[in-house]
A and B are shown apart, each in its own frame.
Chain A
Amino acid sequence: MIVWSLALVLTLGMVAVVYLPYRSAKTMTPTVLVGAPWDTRAVEANVEHVLRLWYCAMCGGRLERLDQKVCSHCGTVVGDGGGS
């Protein structure tokens, strides 16, 4: 009897774990079904990181300003492949 009960519990558990996510996804609104909104915070932080840590590809020196045209360490022109 116990073994049969365990088998039943296992079967129900397996069915539940497959069906319930399907069911809960199906009842979501169309907006949510399209996909969760992007977490732009990570993207923004990454861009921020890029902007703050802009290195010269030639010498590896850090560039100080976004509008910097020439690397202050080696004189390479930034933007003509001079950014890293």
Chain B
Amino acid sequence: MTMPLLGRYALLLALLAAVYTVGMGWWTNRTHNVSLRESVRGAAVGIAIAMTAAVFVLEYLLVTGDYSVQAVYNHTDRALPLLYKMGALWGGDSGSVLFWGWILSLYTAFVAWRGWPREGQMTPMAVPLLGTLLIFFTGMSNLVVDPFHLVAGNPTNGNGLDPLLQNLVMTIHPPAMYTGLIGMAVPAAYILSAVWTKVPSREWVPVVRRWMLFAWMFLSVAIVLGGMWAYMELGWGGYWEWDPVENASLLPWLVATAFLHSIQIEEKRGMFRWWTAFLGVGSFLLTLVGTYITRSGVLKNSVHSFTGTGVGPYFVTLFWVALAASAFVFIKRRDTLRDRMAMDSTLSKEGIYLLLNAFLTAIAAVVLFGTFYPIISKAFLGTSVVLTVHFFNAMTAPMFLGLIVLLGVAPVVGWRSAKWQTVAKRLWKPWVIGVLVGVFAYLHGYHSLLQFFGVTIAVFSLGSMVQEFYRAARLKHVATKAGWFRSLLSAILGNRRRYGGYLAHIAFLIIVLGVVGSHTNNLTVTRTMTPGQTIAVRGYRIRYQGLRGTTHPGYQMTQAHFVVKQGGTTFTEAPGLSFFPGSAQPVATVAIRGGLMKDLYMVLEGSPGHNQAIVQIFVNPMVAWIWIGMYILAFATLIAMGAPIGGDSAPARSWEFNTAPREARRQMLPIEGRDQV
């Protein structure tokens, strides 16, 4: 037996274990046979063992360079550094389907082994649901995109990895993305199970919220890392282009964000039950849509073109089956999804969250429509029309601004109903600060409506968030006489969910300010420079020294060397062009001198000869704010997830115990009549 055959055997065992998990899982749900149910838990863990073995075998083949295996031959070569050889696991369709399946199997094993004792009502159904997905992934790996498929002949070297992917960020981005995307299958499975088995909210809300938070954190980081890679590698000075593959990851993120807010209303007020269930399952369905967009090659207008191996139709089928199953569960159990309370007032936290849900869902709908427009226009107009960044920016920016306003207002609006005078009284300071900063920004080049309002509103919301931290710290400081820092820490640790969430909002606002700032006052110049020539670009004096060629394992590089002076600081930059054998186009190596307020970004376009260099120089303001925001976002989510289990749930409300329709009827009556019910 050879190693590829061992890998195939492991995949077969995984498929058999998945079939057992699903078949026996459904059977034990009907018969309540405890010993068989325990074997189902074991089988779920067995899938993870087998998939881990398959992944380890493929990694072994990649690292040792067994080019008789197609996945190794297509994506590595002898000269590739070890890190990228290992990262080539997710370089192609076969490897990435295996990787997806592996991560899902780890999630399923955790749910089966740790989750089952705690969530005993839901897990017996959630595990077979996840097992059904695993049948799909292991089936794909066994039958459609075999990662251990052999090539003819006995090649002694491979095709190598796409030079654009030979980047540390691009090694981290796919695992983070997959962990986030496939992680949304777990809360979806729990929601369907909870709705079907009529488990009370109190039992499933904390479980589902944590799982979704975990997946959302990874997805958020992955999306920003993707932008970081584009900024570092593609050489156009930007980080987001509303590319179909970028949109594919944004869609589930938007819906999951709405879910994380909506679930609070479900928990505290028994409302938005349809919204919460729909958003929770919808985020997973959108990951399937996103996978279809990415892997099928149906949208040709993407820079992230993955050469499809025909997996698209399978993911589409999975999407329709999952959609049908979810719709069946929701319709059959629609009674359990009826709201237990009614909204008292539009100006209330519930009202704000409803608007939030609407905005996020609307943005997702616009992005989905815009992404698929080439196909829609081809079908209805006969010609494929690609919508540009201007469409997406124009349509989504106002809604994002609306979201940011809500973000700033929500903390000071009470549950059930609030008075606008109270809200205004608590928010006037952040508004004043926002307007002042907005005016300052306007005087410094932020002239367009979007730039001005973007800064004003983002700073206002930031002020509102900081105000909440200040209030909490002040209460503790007055009560305990402790120092301010200790008081702040104590306040955060006393309610990690709330303050972790607020910190995540602050991180989001920092990213927003970075996005607005990076689209304002940026500068691009292209020059042909001769050695010794100096140019001045916005505070930088850039002197060109000449071209130098270097040989690296697997490629040749030509670099243009510059000495840059900025104020009293002197540093060197060397943008280059890398020439890979077998690749028609050279790959640009961008030179970035990052700073908090601006980046110097240099790209070598080419050389007309005589040691001259054609260089494109960008000065990009505030891009670093986006990366900083990402780190804070991840940290904040960890704080929120660190809230003690059971300690962070809302106190029980009478509507959970009393007859719910009576309360709902009472709420519908005019105020005078309520005491009569």
Contact = CB atoms under 8 A, between A and B. Distances in A.
A17 B654 contact: no
B197 interface: no
A21 B3 contact: no
Contacts of A83: 654, 658
A13 B10 CA distance: 11
B243 to A, nearest CB: 41
B654 A84 contact: yes
B674 A6 contact: no
B1 A4 contact: yes
A24 interface: yes
Contact of B666 (A18, A22, A46, A81): A81
A80 interface: yes
Interface in A1-58: 3-4, 6-7, 10-11, 13-14, 17-26, 28, 33, 35, 42, 46-47, 49-50, 53-55, 57-58
Nearest to B671: A58
B435 interface: no
A36 to B, nearest CB: 8
B116 to A, nearest CB: 11
Nearest to B655: A84
The prevalent SS among residues of B at the interface is helix
B49 A13 contact: yes
Contacts of A58: 674
B348 to A, nearest CB: 11
Given A14-B13, A22-B42, A49-B652, A57 B663 contact: yes
A35 B34 CA distance: 9
Contact of B49 (A4, A10, A46): A10
Interface in B58-72: none
Contacts of B34: 25, 28, 33, 35
A80 B659 CA distance: 12
B652 A50 contact: yes
Interface in B1-25: 1-3, 5-6, 9-10, 13, 17, 20
B583 interface: no
Contacts of B655: 84
Given A25-B38, A60-B415, A14 B652 contact: no
A22 B35 CA distance: 5
B349 to A, nearest CB: 12
B60 to A, nearest CB: 10
A27 to B, nearest CB: 9
A14 to B, nearest CB: 5
Contact of A84 (B10, B37, B46, B653): B653
Main secondary structure on chain A at its contact with chain B? Answer: helix
A46 to B, nearest CB: 6
Contacts of B36: 22
B50 A10 contact: yes
**A22, A42, A54: residue with the most chain B Cβ atoms closer than 10 Å:** A22
B9 A17 contact: no
A18 B674 contact: no
B38 A21 contact: yes
B672 to A, nearest CB: 12
Interface residues of B, number: 41
A76 B675 contact: yes
Given A22-B39, A24-B38, A7 B654 contact: no
B543 interface: no
Given A21-B39, A25-B38, A10 B9 contact: yes
Q: What is the interface residue range for chain A against chain B?
A: 35 or more
B416 interface: yes
Contact of A18 (B1, B42, B652): B42
B39 A18 contact: yes
B553 interface: no
A54 to B, nearest CB: 8
Contacts of A77: 675
A69 to B, nearest CB: 13
A80 B38 CA distance: 47
B663 to A, nearest CB: 6
Contact of B17 (A4, A14, A49): A14
B9 A81 contact: no
A81 B46 CA distance: 51
Nearest to A6: B6
B42 A21 contact: yes
B38 A46 contact: no
A24 B651 CA distance: 39
B35 A7 contact: no
Contacts of A26: 35
A17 B42 contact: yes
Contacts of B50: 10, 14
Nearest to A49: B651
B43 interface: yes
Interface in A66-82: 76-77, 80-82
Interface in B137-171: none
A42 to B, nearest CB: 7
Contacts of B35: 22-23, 25-26
Nearest to A58: B674
A10 B13 contact: yes
A76 to B, nearest CB: 6
B582 interface: no
B512 interface: no
B112 to A, nearest CB: 10
Nearest to A26: B35
Interface of B: 1-3, 5-6, 9-10, 13, 17, 20, 34-39, 41-43, 45-46, 49-50, 53, 202, 415-416, 646, 651-655, 657-658, 662-663, 666, 674-675, 677
26 contacts: A3-B2, A3-B3, A7-B1, A10-B13, A10-B53, A14-B46, A14-B50, A19-B42, A21-B42, A22-B35, A22-B42, A24-B38, A25-B35, A25-B38, A26-B35, A28-B34, A47-B652, A50-B651, A50-B652, A53-B652, A55-B653, A57-B654, A60-B416, A76-B675, A77-B675, A81-B663
Complex A-B, nearest 6 residue pairs according to Cβ-Cβ distance, in ascending order: A22-B39, A25-B35, A21-B38, A25-B38, A21-B42, A50-B652
Given A14-B49, A58-B674, A81-B677, 16 more contacts: A4-B1, A10-B6, A10-B9, A11-B13, A14-B13, A17-B43, A17-B49, A18-B42, A19-B39, A20-B42, A22-B38, A46-B202, A47-B652, A80-B677, A81-B674, A84-B654
